[in-house]
Amino acid sequence: MQKNKTIIIFLAKFFATYFILFGIYSFYLNKTQQKLDIFSCSPVTIIVASHVQNMAHVIGYDAQIEQNKNELSMKFILNGKYVSRIIEGCNSISIIILFLSFIIAFSGSLKATILFGFFGSFSIYLVNLFRIIALSVLYYKFPKYQEILHSLVFPAIIYGLTFILWITWVKYFSNIKKNASS
């Protein structure tokens, strides 16, 4: 009976946190992006695109970003060639929401939850930036491999990191072991 109660509490906390954070994020998107006559991405997507552009400059590429006039995306142009687009789903916020929902559902101490939440969110954001720049450079150099890179390799990186963070959280910081032993 205790196991069922633990699972129900986990699911309730996970979905409550997920829907609250997702609702806040959806409200933010509705208020900040425009898609009627003129397309305009949300500020967080523009910031991600700007960070990717700066990273490209650091590694020696001429890079520009510009708002796509036909959709909610930022065009990423590398050495004069339009190689990729950065959409809302590329800004890592949805994955961060999923990550935070999990660690809150498997809560630890308040301090550990807050610190690991910030650390994990920052790690996901940073790895996502590296993922986007690597993907864009590989698109530029090897355009025939776009589908496999985008569909398989690079989702594995961001979701793999999130999974590793979850395992680390459960093993070292959550109260799950304390609850299981009582």
- The pLDDT tens digits for 108-123 are 899 999 999 999 999 9
6 pLDDT band (50/70/90 cuts)?
Answer: confident
Q: Which of 83, 102, 78 is nearest to 168 (CA)?
A: 102
Any idea what DSSP says for residue 108?
Answer: B
167, 120 contact by CB (below 8 A): no
pLDDT value of position 87: 94
Task: Say whether pLDDT at 25 is over 90.
Answer: yes
Q: Stretch 32-55: mean pLDDT, rounded? A: 92
For 49-92, write each residue's pLDDT tens digit.
Answer: 999 999 999 999 999 999 999 999 999 999 999 999 999 999 99
CA distances from 80 to 97, 107, 133, 148 (A): 35, 48, 15, 24
Helices (H) and strands (E) in the chain, counts: 7, 5
Q: Stretch 101-106: mean pLDDT, rounded? A: 96
pLDDT value of position 37: 76
4 pLDDT band (50/70/90 cuts)?
Answer: confident
Radius of gyration, alpha carbons of the chain: 19
Ranges of each domain in the chain? 2-181
Task: Say whether pLDDT at 181 is over 60.
Answer: no
pTM of the model: 0.92
pLDDT value of position 176: 73
pLDDT value of position 1: 66
